[in-house]
Structure 1
């Protein structure tokens, strides 16, 4: 995969669309946003994806045609990219990623990681840890009930996902015991998203990816939840988080930026 020069911000150089060495990205899981992200980023000239998923194409993934139903999703994505953006390489990996080491292994040599995985429960922290080891940013997106959410992590240059988790742990200690417990009756989730709505999220994620890869402007979702409320008139909101003094990952990085820069 591609290797960008390192410096003050070596990997943020205008490489998209260059036929000699276009940027590469790793996609660590198979969920609808990632399939659509391949479509959106392919238009920008991304050189290649490492596409990892253990899923098969369901009817709800409108990116593919009926002939792809039941196929391994990674193979369908590779074939689809070949017809849409012939210069974009897709390396299909049919695998469940269940550790930071697995993500780090597949991400070796890439310039950015895109994450839309929702299992296992600690997967965001796994990707966070892997990206610190790889020294590459990652962009995460998904649907939380009726809220479209995306955010990103720039290891060592902005607060990371572990920082957020530590802040949440601190907040838990201040809550009454009853609020720390899981609900007695879990309500079934309702997914109000349609294919085009998911594509909207993918477009926002894709622009954030381009910000990292080209440096045309600073990332807008670094250490910041950016939300669109589907059940509230498409209202938008942002929620930044800050460095946590006890974060072991950020503490190891010498060029860490002050919290107020990222917030």
Structure 2
């Protein structure tokens, strides 16, 4: 049980987090921080919000856990402000999809602070965005990566782990650089590929869309994600994403060569490798 939890930013993840905390009876008081007065009023009408504040210092006061659920571009500045208002034992974490820059900034912000910062990345998003699409089971059974650093107190690391596990997540620990390399391949590159395919097909005759089947809908589903948010994520993880993109370009070049040379066995081998990898995802205990 976490007596009071503050959620900074009631978007898809923030609102889903509040719903999950309430549904699992994990917190007596859930406080929401939002910039917009209309959003504050909206949150106050929700069963999962006990109090909503526009003042960040008031929002975090008395909380054992503070979770920053805003866009990646704004997380560092918010964490910096929050750390100046922390109390002893308070854990500050986030949901950012890129950890290197956020964690590096937090190291400086946490110097002399009473609380501690532990980077987190619950991999439980959706192509939809906003509070209207939030749901209480968004995190259940999904992986969450925490990124403690050398000077992160053990009790804060364990507290962050316990928080996400209490929400039903499978928690893994990585360094910020390892996290950013892995998600560049497993999350950011797939989104770029999905968007690239949709971008390519946008130039085809409009009447062809009526012929689109399940395969196209599946492969382009995540391209529907908020372009503004994804531009921030890709820009922040640029170097690792470019590395993964180079690897994809090599695979595409190989596929083209095998298609052009007309040797069915080589093309089949290429397709079988992809098929094996896809099947292995379903057998992985995340």
TM-score range, shorter chain: 0.3 to 0.5
More helix by share: 2
Q: Does 1 or 2 have the higher relative contact order (CA < 8 Å, sep 6+)?
A: 1
- The TM-score with structure 2 as length reference comes to 0.38
